[in-house]
C-alpha cells in the first residue's frame, strides 16, 4: 500500500492526531493496528457484559418500571459511548465531524423535548 | 493511450476519495456518511419521540417483556454486537493489506445480519400468530414501525456488504486504499445500525 503522505495536498498533515484508533491515519504500523484490534475485542467483551447486566436487571429482577427505565438507559448510554467512541472512532475524529454531530445533538434534544412540551401545554387537546 | 489523454483522465477523477480534503481534514465519503447518519439520527429520533409521546399519554402501557420474546431479542443484540466487531476487524485487516481476512470478516458480518433477520422473522411470525399486528394497539404499532425500519436498514447493509464482497472487491487490485475507505464508510453505517438497536432493545423489550 502506498504512503498517503507521499501524495497528500500541500498544507495537510496526515500525521496529525495519529493516536490509537485515529481513523484518518492509514499509515499506522502493523503493530499499532493489531493493538487497536485488541482494543476492539475488549470493547466487544464490555458490550456483551453490559447487555447481560441490562437483561439481568430489567428482565431477571423485574425492576419497577421507573427504576428499569433509569438502569436500562444508563447502561444503553454506556454501550452507545463504547460503540461510537471506539468502533466509530469518535474519540479521535476531526473537528468537522464533531461540528456535524453537535448540530445533530441539538436538534435531537429538541425532538426529545417535544413530548414534554406537549404535556406541559395547558391549551393542548 | 497518449500522454494528453492520460492527463485528461486524471483531471476527471473525483478528488479526495482517499486522501483528506485540506479544509475538512477527512476524505469526502467519510464526511458524506456522517451527514447521512445525522439525518438518520433525526429519522429514528422522531420515532423515539413518538414512542415517548404515546407512552406518556397512555393510561396503561404494557411492559415489553410481557409482550415480546426477550431471550430471542437478547440473542439478536449479541449477534449485532458481534457483527460490529467483525466489521471493524475487516477494516483493520484491510489496513494490514490482508484482503483474504478482510473478506472473511465481511462474510461473518453478513452471516450475523442474516441470523438477525431470520430471528426477527420468527419473532414477527409469532406475533402474527398471536394476532398482534400494527393495528392491534399503540404498543405494537410503534414496535413494528421501529423494528421494521431498523430491519430495513439491516437489509440495506447486507446488500452493500454483498457488493463489496463480490464485484466491489475488484477495486482492491488497483486502489486498495480507496477500497479500505469504502469498508470504513459502510462500517460507520453498520455501527450506527447497531447503536440504534442498543437503544431500541431496552426501550421496547425491557421497560
Residue A5's pLDDT band (cuts 50, 70, 90): very low
Chain A within 8 Å of B70 (Cβ-Cβ)?
Answer: yes
C-alpha cell at B186: 459502510
- Of chain B residues 151-190, which have a CB less than 8 A from chain A? 176-177, 180, 184, 187-188
Q: What does the pLDDT look like over B158-187, one tens digit per residue?
A: 999 999 999 999 999 999 999 999 999 999
H-type alpha helices, A1-64: 4-7, 30-55
Q: Which CATH superfamily is domain B32-206 in?
A: Cytochrome c oxidase, subunit III, four-helix bundle (1.20.120.80)
DSSP characters over B47-58: HHHHHHHHHHH-
How many whole angstroms separate alpha carbon B203 and alpha carbon B143?
A: 10
User: How many residues can be counted in chain B?
Assistant: 207
Q: What does the alpha-carbon distance between residue B15 and residue A38 come to, in Å, rounded to a whole number? A: 34
CB contact under 8 A, A104 and B42: yes
Question: Rounded to 10 degrees, what is the CA torsion of B50, B54, B55, B56?
Answer: 100
Chain A CA closest to residue B45: A108
Could you tell me the residue ranges of all domains in chain B? 32-206
HSE, side-chain direction, 13 A CA sphere, residue A103: 10
Q: What are the CA-CA distances from residue A110 to residues A98, A106, A107, B37, B146 (Å)?
A: 18, 6, 5, 17, 20
Burial class of residue B13 (count of CB atoms within 10 Å of its CB; 0-12, 13-18, 19+) = exposed
A112 vs B48: CB contact, 8 Å cut-off? Answer: yes
> Are the beta carbons of B123 and B144 closer than 8 angstroms?
no
Q: Does B207 touch chain A (CB under 8 A)?
A: yes
A44 part of a folded domain:
yes
Residues of chain B neighbouring A68 (CB-CB closer than 8 A): 206-207
Going by the DSSP 8-state scheme, the letter that residue B19 receives in this structure is S
Question: Given the C-alpha cell 429482577, which residue does it identify?
Answer: A61
* CB contact A35 to B (< 8 Å): no
Considering only CB atoms, which chain B residues are within 8 Å of A2? 177
Mean pLDDT, range A76-100, rounded to an integer: 96
Amino acid A123: pLDDT:
59
User: Model confidence over B15-34: pLDDT tens digits?
Assistant: 888 889 999 999 999 999 99
What's the pLDDT tens digit per position in B188-197? 999 999 999 9
Is there a contact between A44 and B85 if contact means CB atoms under 8 Å apart? Answer: yes
- Which of A3, A47, A117 to mutate: most B Cβ within 10 Å? A47
Return the higher-pLDDT residue of A28 and A82: A82
Predicted confidence (pLDDT) at residue A16 exceeds the cutoff of 70:
no
Q: Per-residue pLDDT tens for B94-118?
A: 999 999 999 999 999 999 999 999 9
Q: What is the pLDDT of residues B124-170, one digit of tens each?
A: 999 999 999 999 999 999 999 999 999 999 999 999 999 999 999 99
**pLDDT at B21 (0 to 100):** 93
Q: Can you give the pLDDT at residue A115? A: 80
Q: Which of A72, A75, A80 sits opposite B195 (nearest CB)?
A: A80
**Grid cell locating A83:** 460503540
Could you list the residue range(s) of the whole structural domain that residue A40 is in?
A: 30-93
Domain count, chain A: 1
Angle at B155 between CA B184 and CA A96, to 5 degrees: 35
The owner of cell 477495486 is B171
CB contact under 8 A, B26 and A4: no
Q: Is residue A104 part of a domain?
A: no
Indicate the pTM of the whole model.
0.87
Interchain proximity B202–A58, CB inside 8 Å: yes
Report the alpha-carbon distance of residue B193 to residue B154 in Å, rounded: 7
Q: A23 to chain B: which residues are within 8 Å by CB?
A: 30, 184
The three grid cell numbers given for residue B161, joined into one nine-digit string: 456488504
Label residue B75 exposed, middle or buried (CB < 10 Å: 0-12, 13-18, 19+).
middle
Interface probe, candidates A20, A29, A61, A79, chain B, greatest B C-beta count within 10 A:
A79
Distance from CA of A53 to the nearest CA of B (A): 11
Residues of B in contact with A47 (CB under 8 A): 81, 84
Burial of B160 (0-12, 13-18, 19+ CB in 10 A): middle
Amino acid at each position: 500500500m502506498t504512503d498517503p503522505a507521499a501524495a497528500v495536498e500541500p498544507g495537510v498533515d496526515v500525521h496529525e492526531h495519529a493516536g490509537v484508533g485515529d481513523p484518518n491515519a492509514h499509515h499506522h504500523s502493523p503493530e499499532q493496528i493489531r493493538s487497536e484490534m485488541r482494543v476492539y475485542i475488549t470493547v466487544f467483551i464490555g458490550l456483551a457484559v453490559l447487555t447481560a447486566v441490562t437483561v439481568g436487571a430489567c428482565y431477571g429482577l423485574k425492576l419497577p418500571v421507573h427504576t428499569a427505565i433509569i438502569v436500562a438507559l444508563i447502561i444503553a448510554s454506556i454501550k452507545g459511548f463504547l460503540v461510537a467512541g471506539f468502533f466509530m472512532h469518535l474519540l479521535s475524529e476531526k473537528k468537522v465531524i464533531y461540528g456535524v454531530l453537535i448540530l445533530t445533538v441539538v436538534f435531537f434534544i429538541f425532538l426529545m423535548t417535544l413530548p414534554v412540551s406537549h404535556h406541559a401545554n395547558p391549551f393542548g387537546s | 493511450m497518449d500522454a494528453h489523454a492520460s492527463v485528461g483522465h486524471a483531471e476527471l477523477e473525483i478528488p479526495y476519495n482517499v486522501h483528506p480534503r485540506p479544509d475538512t481534514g477527512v476524505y469526502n465519503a467519510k464526511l458524506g456518511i456522517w451527514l447521512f447518519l445525522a439525518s438518520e439520527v433525526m429519522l429514528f429520533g422522531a420515532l423515539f419521540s413518538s414512542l415517548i409521546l404515546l407512552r406518556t399519554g397512555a393510561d396503561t402501557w404494557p411492559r415489553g417483556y410481557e409482550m415480546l420474546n426477550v431471550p430471542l431479542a437478547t440473542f439478536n443484540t449479541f449477534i449485532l454486537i458481534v457483527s460490529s466487531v467483525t466489521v471493524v476487524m475487516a477494516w483493520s485487516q484491510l489496513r494490514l493489506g490482508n484482503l483474504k481476512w478482510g473478506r472473511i470478516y465481511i462474510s461473518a458480518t453478513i452471516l450475523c445480519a442474516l441470523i438477525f433477520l431470520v430471528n426477527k422473522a420468527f419473532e414477527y411470525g409469532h406475533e402474527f400468530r398471536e394476532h398482534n399486528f400494527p393495528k392491534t394497539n399503540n404498543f405494537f404499532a410503534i414496535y413494528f414501525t421501529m423494528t421494521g425500519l431498523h430491519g430495513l436498514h439491516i437489509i440495506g447493509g447486507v446488500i452493500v456488504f454483498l457488493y463489496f464482497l463480490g464485484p466491489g472487491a475488484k477495486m482492491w487490485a488497483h486502489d486498495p486504499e480507496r477500497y479500505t475507505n469504502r469498508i470504513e464508510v459502510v462500517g460507520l453505517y453498520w455501527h450506527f445500525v447497531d447503536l440504534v438497536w442498543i437503544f431500541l432493545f431496552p426501550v421496547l423489550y425491557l421497560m
